[in-house]
């Protein structure tokens, strides 16, 4: 019997898997952000953004700085992954409804990043 590849919601198993992992990363970022808030580490890096106290490295002896820095770094990676995946989706799906959904997703990623930046800068 000839086996057919499983059809996914986007028609491409690779694309679906990439979006799944970005979604999983999204939940990880949200959980870590909740931990940052609960541990009151949000001001660990001060008002300098995206740096931590004016440096791209944190003080390893300051737990609040480490927690906040990990959140900032993972959020930055998340933004890079999101941009890459949206570009990949647009290449594969052009401007179909999947491409438009990807652009909408990217818009909300940028809004969230802007809100996060404003919270840091304005304390």
- Sequence-distant (≥ 6) Cβ neighbours of residue 33 within 8 angstroms: 71
Catalytic residue from among 53, 68, 112, 123: 68
**DSSP assignment string, 22-76:** HHHHHHHHHHHHHHHHHTT-TTTTTT-SSSBTTBSS--TT-HHHHHHHHHHHHHH
In sequence order, what are the beta bridge partners of 52?
55
Q: In the structure encoding, which two tokens stand for residue 121, read together?
A: 């800068």
68 counts as catalytic: yes
Catalytic amino acids?
Answer: 68
């Amino acid at each position: 019997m000839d086996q057919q590849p499983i059809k996914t919601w986007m028609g491409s198993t690779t694309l679906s898997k990439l979006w799944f992992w970005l979604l999983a990363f999204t939940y990880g970022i949200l959980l870590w952000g909740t931990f940052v808030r609960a541990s009151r580490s949000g001001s660990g890096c001060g008002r300098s953004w995206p740096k931590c106290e004016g440096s791209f490295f944190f003080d390893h002896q300051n737990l609040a700085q480490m927690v906040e820095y990990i959140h900032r770094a993972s959020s930055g990676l998340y933004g890079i992954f999101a941009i890459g995946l949206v570009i990949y989706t647009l290449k594969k799906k052009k401007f179909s409804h999947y491409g438009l959904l990807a652009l909408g997703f990217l818009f909300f990623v940028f809004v969230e990043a802007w809100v996060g930046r404003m919270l840091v800068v304005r304390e």
